Amino acid sequence: MTTIELVQGDITRESVDAIVNAANSSLLGGGGVDGAIHRRGGPAILEECRKLRAAHYGRGLPTGRAVATTAGDLDARWVIHTVGPVYSATEDRSALLASCYRESLRVADELGARTVAFPAISTGVYGWPMDDGARIAVETARAADTAVEEVRFVLFDERAYEVFAGRLR
Average pLDDT of span 32-41: 96
Average pLDDT of span 142-165: 97
pLDDT (tens digit per residue) in 120-137: 999 999 999 999 999 999
- The DSSP string of 127-162 is ---HHHHHHHHHHHHHH-----SEEEEEESSHHHHH
Which amino acid is it at 81? H
Reported confidence tier of residue 155, pLDDT bands at 50, 70, 90: very high
Spatial CA neighbour of 10 closest among 89, 95, 76: 76
Average pLDDT of span 95-115: 98
Average pLDDT of span 97-103: 98
Catalytic choice (34, 92, 109, 157): 34
Distances (CA, A) of 47 to 27, 66, 69, 125: 10, 17, 9, 25
The answer to whether residue 55 scores a pLDDT higher than 90 is: no
Distances (CA, A) of 77 to 68, 80, 93, 139, 151: 10, 10, 31, 26, 15
Residue 132 catalytic?
no
Report the mean per-residue pLDDT for the chain. Answer: 96
* pLDDT value for 137: 98
The answer to whether residue 73 scores a pLDDT higher than 90 is: yes
The C-alpha angle 66, 71, 75, rounded to 5 degrees, equals: 125
The answer to whether residue 57 scores a pLDDT higher than 90 is: no
Q: Exposure of 25 by Cβ count < 10 A (0-12 exposed, 13-18 middle, 19+ buried)?
A: middle
* pLDDT value for 126: 96
Answering whether pTM is above 0.85, one says: yes
The answer to whether residue 52 scores a pLDDT higher than 90 is: yes
- The DSSP string of 58-121 is TT-PPTT-EEEEE-TTSSSSEEEEEEPPPP-SSS--HHHHHHHHHHHHHHHHHHT-SEEEE--T
Residues in the chain: 169
Q: What distance in Å separates the CA atoms of residue 48 and residue 51, rounded to the nearest whole number?
A: 5
Domains of the chain from N-terminus onward = 3-168 (3.40.220.10)
Adjacent-strand bridge partners of 18: 78, 116
* pLDDT value for 20: 98
Reported confidence tier of residue 58, pLDDT bands at 50, 70, 90: confident
